[in-house]
Amino acid sequence: MDRINETFQRLAAQKEKALVGFVTAGDPNPAVSKQIISAMCRSGLDILELGVPFSDPTADGPVIQRSSERALKKGTTLSTVLDMTADLRKETEVPVIIFSYYNPIFSYGVESFYRAAVDAGADGVLVVDLPPEESDELTACWTGKGFSLIRLVAPTTPPERVAVITTAASGFVYLVSMTGVTGSAGLQTDPIADLCLRVRKTTTLPVCVGFGISTADDVARVSKAADGVVIGSAFERLIEENLDNPGLPELVAERVRQYKAATRV
């Protein structure tokens, strides 16, 4: 069994939901970023989404856009992200998902990316702008079963397309809570519960909800309906507010502990 499945089975037995945390790799610089992700994994994070900084992050709001700009200015590349993953794997079994747009992977080489990601100890990839109809180019060279392709479902996705997307997914399904970009306000719990039910009719994979979740209260409310909660902009906002603070890794770790406590339902 792979690390993602093991994580969800362990959490279900413990009556907990998954805390999935996103940060942009290399923000505010690669050295501090390594300290941050290490501290997050030691503090209760269940799954790490490690973002590849990209110059045109169209699905992301201004907070994550600025984090990408900072990381790019510090020279962070996809190779940097894979090196960080390999270093992290030496100290933790927390699943790592490489979160990227397709351009960096295509430029790196899809087969080279797969082999390097597996060798680094990554557990899967989420490619924001790669629809199922175009993803064979990426997955045709995947020779093992332990590397997942996480798929996105939006509130506006028609039911028949939800089935197409979830059939092609593995690991878990990332359910976008609202229309808009990451970091948007206006989280509404009732529509999320309905969306989770719609997705579960098409798949047995865990359903994790992201976009617009920023407080422990948000985590507790969403955890009642979903198998996991994804938080990105709130972590990146905390990083942005403490760029020169030497205690930044511990600040992020404390935030992880607060969110994780709210996943116990």
Neighbours of 158 (CB within 10 A): 8
Angle in degrees, CA 257, 11, 234, rounded to 5: 35
| Catalytic sites, residue numbers | 49, 60
Helices of type H across the chain: 3-13, 30-42, 62-73, 78-89, 102-108, 110-120, 136-139, 159-167, 189-200, 216-223, 233-240, 248-261
**213-251: burial string, b at 16+ Cβ within 10 Å, e else:** bbebebbbbbbebbbbbbbbbbbbbbbbeeeeeeebbee
